[in-house]
Amino acid sequence: VSHLQESWLLGKTRPMEYRVAQLEALGRFLDDKKQQILDATASDLGKAPLETELSEILLCKNELHETLNNLSRWMKDEKVDRTLAMQLDSAFIRKDPYGVVLIIAPWNYPVQLFLVPLIGAIAAGNCVIVKPSEVSKTERLMAEALPSYLDEDCFAVVTGGVQETTRLLENKFDYIFFTGSPSVGRIVMTAAAKHLTPVTLELGGKNPCYVSDTCDVTNVARRVVWGRFFNAGQTCIAPDYLLCTLEMQEKLLPALQKAINDFYGPNPRESPDFGCIVSDKQFQRVQRLLGSGRVAIGGQTDEAERYIAPTVLVDVQPSDPIMQEEVFGPILPIVIIANVDETIDFINSRERPLAVYAFSSDDKVVNQVLERTSSGGFCGNDTLMHVTLPSLPFGGIAAWERTNGKFSFDTFSHPRGCLKRWMGRESLNAPRYPPYSQRKFGLVQATSKVTRKSDCS
């Protein structure tokens, strides 16, 4: 950490050319190591190479290109409006790097959630330490390979488990970006408080998915199955549980079964497109959740392969274990509600989630759910897709700030208010100096006022 702090003070990471060179090196890393990454993620999560290429590698390359294409524009000072008294001055917001940034990456999207914040932090001119997840083989690979592509004076990878991370967090960083569970998020923020370090926390929660009675059941089922079982359910914004009426449930179940069959075949265990749970510990945790309610679809498991079949549970009560924690696995519990109002109350009585999903052919219903709930993000009539648009910020409520594209750059930049004044025309300043008088005061008021448009009539 002190080595990077020294490099930071030398200003190495500030020039645009330097940042571009590092980002381009990252691009080369992705190209060179693509096959190894694909193999490692297959081993970690049973991810189909195609899925990894799309959701991890391509996504990172897009982020890189978007950043390289726009960096000079993002780095420009943002000019702002001035008052009458400041017309001769220059007022702007300068995007300053913070300094030494710590990124703590999770295991579920080992490439994306490691590299996307790293790209943003480098683009913003910081030195960066990345602490990858010790659970992921992919990240271990990246930890070994990445340092040789980047400037070792300014970028480092620190590996380790809970102990090493705790020790790491005792150091002073200028910014910490954490992706993971709310409980660890609290630990990170508490450690950051000791040094007054600002943080971005990308956490999780139980993302509700409401399906109204008026909808195209086939399409809903496909979109929900896709979002729920992608990456074997290990996605922070996956629809966590479904809310619908009993009638809708009866229609949905066969449609969900058909979608699962279409996507993964009659035996998902053999499908190259369906993944596995990342570790034994996680497998056991998710397996326990199968005890809630009743299995309507799926339910098969194989511990040796860390396989849990795409599963749908019914007769689930709000008090059941599966409704007390984020599922983060390929199980979709259905909770029965009577109508949209009950749905909204149900959602609002729980912690605000990272995402809220609402399906309905009736726009009004979708809008109602949007307007009367609160969540990091919202997607109507689909799942996951709101995070694929770089023009939309990605983040939760208990998670601050936003990532993706320019949002990443802004997350890792300190917006510094700058005013350059003129030394001349000192007489203009006279009204503000003591000794004070009513006349002087009138002048001050006049030149710094912002009037309400309606007042001027």
Separation between Cα atoms, residue 68 and residue 333, nearest integer Å: 42
Active site residue 456: no
Q: How many CA atoms lie within 13 A of 97 on its CB side?
A: 23
Query: Is 153 near another protein (CB under 8 A)?
Result: no
94 versus 285: smaller Cβ distance to another protein: 94
Among 180, 293, 353, 376, binds another protein (CB under 8 A): 376
Among 12, 61, 258, 432, binds another protein (CB under 8 A): 432
Active site residue 236: yes
Query: Is 386 near another protein (CB under 8 A)?
Result: yes
Query: Is 39 near another protein (CB under 8 A)?
Result: no
**What minimum distance in Å lies between the beta carbon of 259 and another protein?**
8
144 versus 247: smaller Cβ distance to another protein: 247
64 versus 289: smaller Cβ distance to another protein: 64
Query: Is 84 near another protein (CB under 8 A)?
Result: no
Binding mask 263-302 for another protein (x = CB under 8 A): xxx-----xxxx----------------------------
Among 201, 297, 331, 337, binds another protein (CB under 8 A): 201
Q: What are phi and psi of 409, to 5 degrees?
A: -55, -45
Q: Which residues contact 203 (CB under 8 A, 6 or more apart)?
A: 179, 180, 181, 182, 185, 236, 354, 396, 398, 399
Binding mask 333-352 for another protein (x = CB under 8 A): ---------------x----
**What minimum distance in Å lies between the beta carbon of 77 and another protein?**
9
Number of residues that bind another protein (CB under 8 A): 111
Query: Catalytic: which of 236, 244, 276, 379?
Result: 236
Q: Which residues contact 234 (CB under 8 A, 6 or more apart)?
A: 45, 108, 275, 277, 278, 282, 328, 329
Catalytic annotation, residues: 202, 236
